[in-house]
């Protein structure tokens, strides 16, 4: 986050090739911000570009690295407090949360412009988000939230399902707020939602898992911290589910303080 800049480096040596400041005007009120932080950076699959979120100014930068000595940057004004995000299933559209603005911004990396800005509450925090095929609405991308128990599903198929594209098509109810990451896998029928920042230990030490083929039946709770065994004292917050490559196992971190025991728990999906 500091200093307010991004660095383009040589891929082999990590030697800095150029350093660019992010100081500038906000997207909404054109106020000068002296230290806007860089959040998510992803590589475009369509052009030789990095897509860079500048948090406090609410601007998405398309940084073309084809000619670093004559750097070309396209600036897309969106909403303040851009944070994390991820691709839709086609790797064309980048969906990213402007969390304190309660928005999800959709960037078309092929046409190099914003496709939509979607209202999502409260304080969406998707990590990379989770893509799956919804029985009614087709391909969707999903995010959980810090501020409430909502898991928001957004349609992502403008060609095949134009009526639901870039709209909130369904909102699931999870265990509670305080979620940081949501995860599924193409080979899995499950959707996992963590809640490590929830004030309730029962919720922060477990995860909710939905059956994608039957979302109406709600979630099942997995007591991940309990499965870690006797870790002694500590918050034992369960965070950031990650699948193995095959999609038949999912790994969870159980976080406690640096002087306390933490763990990894591997679950058979």
| DSSP states along 26-57 | -TTT--EES-PPEEEEEE-SSSSEEEEEETTT
User: What is the CATH T-level fold of the domain 1-173, as seen in this structure?
Assistant: Methanol Dehydrogenase; Chain A (2.140.10)
Order of all β-strands in the sheet with 237-243: 237-243, 249-255, 263-268
Q: Which residues contact 157 (CB under 8 A, 6 or more apart)?
A: 138, 139, 164, 165
Token digits of residue 235: 């918050």
> CA-CA distance, 118 to 110, in Å (whole number)?
20
Q: What is the pLDDT along the chain (269 residues), one digit of tens a residue?
A: 899 999 999 999 999 999 999 999 999 999 999 999 999 999 999 999 999 999 999 999 999 999 999 999 999 999 999 999 999 999 999 999 999 999 999 999 999 999 999 999 999 999 999 999 999 999 999 999 999 999 999 999 999 999 999 999 999 999 999 999 999 999 999 999 999 999 999 999 999 999 999 999 999 999 999 999 999 999 999 999 999 999 999 999 999 999 999 999 999 99
H/E run at residue 217: none
Residue tagged 């944070």 (tokens): 83
Which segments of the chain belong to CATH 2.140.10.20?
1-173
């Amino acid at each position: 986050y500091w200093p307010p800049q991004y660095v383009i480096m040589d891929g082999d040596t990590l030697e800095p090739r150029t350093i660019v400041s992010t100081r500038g005007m906000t997207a909404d009120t054109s106020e000068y911000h002296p230290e806007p932080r860089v959040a998510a950076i992803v590589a475009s699959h369509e052009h030789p570009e990095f897509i860079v979120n500048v948090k406090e100014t609410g601007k998405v930068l398309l940084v073309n690295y084809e000619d670093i000595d004559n750097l070309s940057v396209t600036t897309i004004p969106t909403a303040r407090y851009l944070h994390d995000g991820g691709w839709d299933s086609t790797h064309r559209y980048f969906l990213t949360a402007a969390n304190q603005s309660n928005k999800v911004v959709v960037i078309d990396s092929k046409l190099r412009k914003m496709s939509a800005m979607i209202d999502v509450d409260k304080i969406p925090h998707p990590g990379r988000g989770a893509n799956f095929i919804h029985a009614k609405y087709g391909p969707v991308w999903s995010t959980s939230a810090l501020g409430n128990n909502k898991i928001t599903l957004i349609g992502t198929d403008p060609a095949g399902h134009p009526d639901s594209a870039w709209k909130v098509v369904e909102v699931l109810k999870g265990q509670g707020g305080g979620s940081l990451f949501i995860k599924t896998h193409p080979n899995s029928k499950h959707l996992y939602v963590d809640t490590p920042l929830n004030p309730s230990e029962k919720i922060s030490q477990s995860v909710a898992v939905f059956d994608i083929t039957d979302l109406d039946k709600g979630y099942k709770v997995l007591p991940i911290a309990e499965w870690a065994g006797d870790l002694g004292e500590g918050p034992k917050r369960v965070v950031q589910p990650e699948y193995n490559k095959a999609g038949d196992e999912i790994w969870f971190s159980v976080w406690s303080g640096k002087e306390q025991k933490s763990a990894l728990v591997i679950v058979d999906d």
